[in-house]
Amino acid sequence: MMSKEQFDQLIDKLDALIKLTAVNAFQGKPIAEVALLLSDFGFQNKDIASILGTTPAYINKVKCQAKKKGEGRKRKESNGQTGEAENV
């Protein structure tokens, strides 16, 4: 059976692996897009913040802004107008 110390070491290594994978996968993408994707994958704001090197409050703000912009874009498209969503 694994000791608590071994378990904590394993968790630390898995966290590092997740961060490295995220850096490679999301390089050059807007933080809002990355935050929303990670949220869709089931990550909480505190986990997303840790992965991206920021605070949970900032992640929450960025996600809310991105959702509002996305809702605005959907309304425009349903009215026959189109437009590109801005990067955050």
65-82 confidence digits (pLDDT tens): 988 887 544 544 444 444
Is residue 30 exposed (0-12), middle (13-18) or buried (19+ Cβ within 10 Å)?
Answer: middle
Q: How many structural domains does the chain have?
A: 1
Asked if the structure places residue 50 within a domain, the reply is yes
Asked if the structure places residue 87 within a domain, the reply is no
| CA gyration radius, the chain | 17
Asked if the structure places residue 56 within a domain, the reply is yes
Asked if the structure places residue 83 within a domain, the reply is no
Short-list 84, 85, 46, CA closest to 67: 85
Short-list 51, 55, 65, CA closest to 23: 51
| pTM score | 0.64
Domain range for residue 15? 4-78
Chain mean pLDDT for the chain: 81
Asked if the structure places residue 42 within a domain, the reply is yes
Return d(Cα 58, Cα 48) in angstroms, integer: 10
